[in-house]
Amino acid sequence: MHIEVRGLNKKFGDFQAVTDVNFEIEKGQLIGLLGPSGGGKTSILRMLAGLETVDEGDIVFHGKRVNELPPQERGIGFVFQNYALFKHMTVEENIAFGLEVKKWTKPQIQERVAELVELTGLKGFEKRYPHQLSGGQRQRVAFARALAPEPQLLLLDEPFAAIDAKIRHELRSWLREMIDRLGITSIFVTHDQDEAIEVADQIMIINKGRLEQKGTPWEIYKNPQSPFVAGFIGESTIVEDVSSLRGFGGTGELSGTKALIRPEYVEIGKASDFELLSATEKGTVRHIHFRGSEWLVEVEIGATKLVTYRSLEKEILQPGNEVRVLIHRAYLFNDTDSWVMENRLKEDPMPVHI
Amino acid sequence: MRRLWIGLTVAVFSFLLIIPVIRIAMGAFDAGWSGFAQGLARPETLHALYMTGLIVVIVTVVNTLFGVMLSLYLVRASWLGKRLKQLLNSIVDLPFAVSPVIGGLMIVLLLGPETALGALFNKAGVDIVYALPGMIIATLFVTFPLIVREVMPVLQEIGSAQEEAAATLGASAWTTFWRVTWPSIRWCVVYGVVLTVARAMGEFGAVLVVSGNILFKTQTATTLVYQDVENFNLTAANSIALVLAAGSVTLLLLMEWAKSRREVH
């Protein structure tokens, strides 16, 4: 289903939950609504479902305005945060509910339920009640129930929030695979950036009720359009005074400009590790932390503290070691503007061609 | 020391509950089985029991319907303001706080024959006070909180997510209520109904004030017991009291059963 949202606004009492949100979603895409808790993601999702009224703006499905349509007539499937399974019905009855309501015939319902039980790997659990299932199984039932009436749009509210970390990983890839196979337009809400980056075709970053940026995970990572997005996606350190960093001195004329530097922008090593030593700076290792598959190194350059990751294959550093630090790029921003800047000294000013 | 306390508890319990019931049973049969049967077979007894039964049935049906509806509105309706909900919520408890006699008096003052409203109804050929409608209204007033207070906390606890899920699956409000909400609250409703029946059967003060206790017209089982005691017709009074007590015990057993079911689901 093609979806368009124009000028969406929503207030709860005095609290402005959603402010002037506009976006468009192509058919068959999997969209992640990402942002901090209480930022308005769930409100947007509930308005799309018709569970919340729209104060201002239009929601358009397939070129038709659906603002006034009740949830029953929107042709959507909704997976709730705590699944909201009908607790007095078995797995089978839960999945069949939407079909019975739509007056499908008995054999049709049986066939569809069997199909979904197979698809979601719930075979053998058909006669169980929700309280007899594990978290992951409940999630699958909620998914099967939402999909049963063949909706054109699937909405998922924090679908993995209530599941423990290990199973969450499995379920994520399972969901991605399932949605690819069905080709159904889907939108899910999450506050976990890894989840959004791993699963979504496109991410919409929502903060304080505003849509900060929409794009593929790579685009958002590479070209954040606001300091909030830059800080929210990935890890980063904020440096107050950019001009103090080697290779970025030219920005000194822009007073009040701050820099956001990700660990992966920073490279450390011995002097012999770098081709262009002039672009690097002297630093001291302050702390090192083992992170399972790599080292997290805190390094200090003058008064500035940066963090970076270092491969386990390389020589192990100790706190107090003197190292050379190369900052490849920084994300700069001030009150009015923001841009990405490469280290100016990385390009050899006088290349020697042989 | 512990034995003393146990003994004391048993003593108080039997003094307050068991001995009176035994005394009533003995009183009912002090002239043998025939005395008991005679006391019950009197036409005024039969009429009074009929009146009580009629009031119980009507009050229970009306209260169940509107009690469940009011609970749904107070918990779920988004079109009711928060303040208004709080106000209505406290008004629901009013009958618990007000003495039934005063409740009855309010109805007499509002709808009695001397009032404008009462006169209006009288002209239309309907008597409210000193007639069945007034007695029903008085009993409704007294029993109103019972079902609401049972159902509301459960509705709050189960939340609206299941109902919203049903809506997104295409179910109408009616289907959602019967297939999703009702199974969760039905045993609480049953429990509330049992309480309502018990209270309606035993109601005395409000009904006495509103009914005027007119023989063969507005006399109920409880007001007849009162009149029989006044007239020193103790065997008959005890017989009727025993029937009412038997009804209460049956209800108590039903209540226990409903409670156990409520905990299962």
> Which pLDDT belongs to residue A354?
55
User: DSSP 3-state assignment of A280?
Assistant: coil
Determine the residue type at B244: L
Task: Give the side-chain half-sphere CA count within 13 A for B26.
Answer: 6
Predicted ipTM > 0.90: no
pTM: 0.80
DSSP H or E stretch at residue B191: helix B182-202
pLDDT at residue B121 is higher than 70: yes
Q: What pLDDT does residue B258 have?
A: 79
Q: In this predicted model, what pLDDT tens digit does every residue of A42-91 receive, in sequence order?
A: 999 999 999 999 999 999 998 899 999 999 999 999 999 889 999 999 99
Contacts of A299 (CB under 8 A, 6+ apart): A266, A268, A283, A284, A285, A286, A305, A306, A307, A308, A323, A325
The whole-number average pLDDT for the span A228-233 is 85
Could you tell me which of A155, A159, A158, A216 has the C-alpha nearest to residue A184? A155
Q: Which residues in chain A are contacts of B77 at CB distance < 8 A?
A: none
The tokens for A214 are 């929409």
Tell me which residues of chain B have a C-beta less than 8 Å from any C-beta of chain A: 161-162, 164-172, 175, 179-180, 183-184, 265
User: How much is the average pLDDT of A156-165?
Assistant: 84
Q: Are the Cβ atoms of B168 and A82 closer than 8 angstroms?
A: no
Residue A255 has a pLDDT of 64
DSSP state at residue B14: I
A135/A170 Cα distance (integer angstroms): 13
Written as six digits, the tokens of B156 are 């709050």
CB contact under 8 A, A97 and B162: no
Cβ pair B170:A49 closer than 8 A: no
The contact set of A with B (CB < 8 A) is 49-51, 70-74, 76-78, 80, 82, 84-88, 97-98, 101-102, 145-146, 148-149
d(C-alpha B265, C-alpha B262), whole Å: 6
Strand partners, A250: none
Q: Has residue A250 got a pLDDT over 70? A: no
Token pair belonging to A189: 């809400």
Residue B1 has pLDDT above 90, yes or no: no
Mean pLDDT of chain A: 87
Report pLDDT for B260.
81
Q: Which phi and psi angles does B12 have, rounded to 5°?
A: -60, -45
Question: Does the pLDDT value for residue A101 go beyond 90?
Answer: yes
Structure tokens at B105: 């008096």
Reported as a pLDDT band with limits 50, 70 and 90, residue A160 is confident
Joined tokens for residue A91: 């797995």
Percent pLDDT > 90 in chain A is 40
3-state secondary structure of A103: coil
Mean pLDDT score, B236-257? 89
Strand partners, A60: A4, A65
8 Å CB contact between B204 and B213: no
Please give the torsion angle defined by the CA atoms of residues A136, A142, A143 and A145, in that order, rounded to the nearest 10 degrees.
Answer: 140
What residues of A are in contact with residue B186 (Cβ under 8 Å)? none
Instruction: Give the separation between CA A108 and CA A114, rounded to whole angstroms.
Output: 10
pLDDT, position B265: 52
Spatial separation of the C-alpha atoms in residues B206 and B179, rounded to whole Å: 38
Q: What is the pLDDT of residue A50?
A: 92
Q: Which residues of A touch B172 (CB under 8 A)?
A: 72, 101
How far apart, in whole angstroms, are the C-alpha atoms of residue A279 and residue A249? 11
Please answer whether residues A326 and A266 qualify as being in contact, where contact means their C-beta atoms are separated by less than 8 angstroms: yes
In Å, how far is B194's CA from the nearest CA of chain A?
23
Q: How many CA atoms lie within 13 A of A156 on its CB side?
A: 32
pLDDT over 70 at B251, yes or no: yes
- Choose between B90 and A302: higher pLDDT: B90
Inter-chain CB proximity B171 and A72 less than 8 Å = yes
Q: If we measure between CA atoms, which residue out of A106, A93, A6, A99 comes closest to residue A56?
A: A6
Q: Collect all residues with Cβ–Cβ distance below 8 Å to B250 and sequence separation of at least 6.
A: none
User: Considering CB atoms only, which of A49, A85, A98 is closest to B170?
Assistant: A98
